[in-house]
Amino acid sequence: MTPSAVAYEISNCEKEPIHTPAAIQPDGLLLVIEPRTFNILQASANTKDWLGIDAEQLLGTYLPDLLGEELNPFLDQILSHPSNYQPNLLPIEFQKSKFVLRGHHNAGGILVEMEPLPKDDQLLTYRLFTQLNNFFHELELTSDPERLLKMAAKMLRKVTGHESVMVYKFDNEWNGQIIIEDRADGQERFKGHHFPASDIPAQARRLYRINRVRRISNANYTPVPLVPATNPLVGDLDMTLTQLRSVSPIHLEYMRNMGTASSLTLSLMPDGHLWGMIVCHGDQPNYVSQPVRTFCKMVTQLVSENLQLALNRQFNHQMTRLGRAIDQFNAPFQATYNLHEGLAGLKELLDPFESDAIFLRLDGIDYQFGREVDAQEMQCLRSSVRHQTHAGMAYAEHLPENYQGQAHWICGYLFLPLAASGDEYMIFLRKERPLEVTWAGKPAKAVREELTPGEFNLSPRESFEKWTEKVRGQSLPWERHHRAAASRLRRAINLRMATEMVRLRQHDAEMAHLATHDALTGLPNRLLVDDRLEQALAKARRERGAGAVLFVDLDGFKPINDRYGHDVGDKILCLLSHRLSSSIRESDTFARLGGDEFLFIITGFSSKSTTLFGAETLACKLLESLKEPFVVNGQTFQVGASIGIAIYPFDADEPNELIKKADQAMYVVKETGRSNYHFYADGSP
């Protein structure tokens, strides 16, 4: 089979419609209900096994007649939620057997899953809550991500009865690695092993984001088809949120090849992103009941939230360490009049950034620190990556394809343009770091020839034996704290360069002040706002505090400016600036961004709730102070303000993003009546 044919088959695999299998697993039954009449549109073919009635006989039946009148409020409640809202649960009794219903709706109707309840459900509930109580107690004693995940894996193994529970973490390219493994036999079969991204293709990852629980009780199950196979309303029925949904035959073969008879997979979603999964594997078939799965989902959500807190603490610790190194460079750098001497301190940042060289181009002059690099090579690298910048930078652990072979020792780079235009930039450089990666079986996709000669299909790999690959041509990865600290260093250099321009032109303190303050009002300008906001964010990280940004846009100012001229408009801006300055504390910042736009930075709060109260209090105070008219040249003028508010670090933890979100919140006020305030977190009205 040719490489292009393999690529074509992999592409087809990634497009497999696994969310519309038209079949379920046999651990329960599925009924699809017409949303207006509550009549049954489709039923899984195994209803006789559970209800004693053939699926064909159920079609058209009014569901409350079948299962009881309590189904009416249950179905109404489902329909009251948005389409594909996370399912509702209802315990019922049918013919002396206890079941739990799980329902949601989409364009194909109301999807109702029906599974048996354990006979000892009261004892089970007691055991689950006991486990949860113990877990909460242990949770209070840990702030380490690894310990948190080990605790969760151990508890979930006990609760589910599976022989093995693993934590699977995704990398930036969606390859996975087993970082935690808890097994009943105490062995570690897969810990440290990597799995290729093709094992969990894009459409499967999408389902993991939406439906965070997937269970397979028996890898040898026979799929139960729906009757009829085609949904009367939409054709292919979307079963994304259906836990009984039948899975891809390729995945079942994958499980069998792995020696796994049953599985339960739970998505880890810190900060709302698919970070990894908790994967429970059984050596024997194992049906995990709906109450236990619900419990496991609750625990995983709790773990996800605490994992985010732990990762944030880890990030803050790393940022504190890097921040100290940057501060040690920045203090003399900002103070000295000799730019070359000030920049020499960059060599002290090589170790904190785990870099082998730093290359800087400023005002047509090249500076380099650490291992020697060729300036022409840096220009070529800049040309290769400057159009790939995201969030103001470009970075990779390997060189661009069109640049490979041009550098002598360089492998990884972190590129930061220092200006939106022009030829000024900074690059952190790293050498190659050869790695040995242990895969769970050779990661390449396997292909096999079908009965018809010349026809091939993808198949899961048959062996999961340890397979080691030597990886060349890449450096250490650029972690989040490296990127955030590099942005902070860039702001320090840009601030100094702004000051340097003033010094070169005027050589006095007044012009230095003008570089960071508004010439008309004397308020801090955007340049100083970025620095102040960065300092406020750094302090909030260190002290686990919070603060707010208030974006103020004047209402009614432009007509005054247009009619009476800029002289009158400027006097109003000065009077307004003086009046509003009295509304803030000495520790806060009040700045003019330009025109009739102003910004407040308020700090020193200990929690989100106190920050919300402080921001709201200030907004009300500002609006109240603007009710008094301004008197200029014997005439009175009235202006108001639309105020948008963003809270850090909850809405964003980067200066530009915070200001942008406060600006978006301000426009909500503009569109809904003006002279008011709005929090970004409250969304659109």
Q: Hey, which residues are catalytic here?
A: 596
Biggest distance spanned by C-alpha atoms of the chain: 96
- Check: CB of residue 418 under 8 Å from CB of residue 497: yes
Q: How far is residue 179 CA from its own chain's centroid? A: 20
Torsions phi, psi for 266 (to 5 deg):
-125, 130
* Whole-angstrom distance, CA of residue 69 vs CA of residue 446: 53
Q: Which residues contact 491 (CB under 8 A, 6 or more apart)?
A: 530, 531, 534
Pairing verdict, β 410-417 and 394-396: antiparallel
Q: Which helix (H) or strand (E) holds 468?
A: strand 466-471
Strand ranges across the sheet with 589-594: 589-594, 597-605, 546-555, 640-648, 677-679
Specify the 3-state DSSP secondary structure of 228.
Answer: coil
Specify the 3-state DSSP secondary structure of 167.
Answer: strand
* Whole-angstrom distance, CA of residue 456 vs CA of residue 646: 55
* Whole-angstrom distance, CA of residue 189 vs CA of residue 342: 53
Token pair 């329960």 is found at: 28
Range 455-475 burial, b when 16+ CB lie within 10 A, else e: ebebebbeebeebeeeeeebb
User: How many secondary structure helices (H) and strands (E) does the chain include?
Assistant: 19, 29
CA dihedral 536, 542, 545, 548 (to 10 degrees): 20
Specify the 3-state DSSP secondary structure of 447.
Answer: strand
Q: Which residues contact 388 (CB under 8 A, 6 or more apart)?
A: 394, 400
| Closest C-alpha to 322, from 548, 478, 145 | 478
* Whole-angstrom distance, CA of residue 379 vs CA of residue 79: 60
Torsions phi, psi for 478 (to 5 deg):
-90, 105
- Check: CB of residue 175 under 8 Å from CB of residue 196: yes
- Check: CB of residue 278 under 8 Å from CB of residue 288: no
Q: Which helix (H) or strand (E) holds 204?
A: helix 202-210
- Check: CB of residue 20 under 8 Å from CB of residue 238: yes
Question: Token pair for residue 249?
Answer: 């035959």
Q: Which helix (H) or strand (E) holds 589?
A: strand 589-594
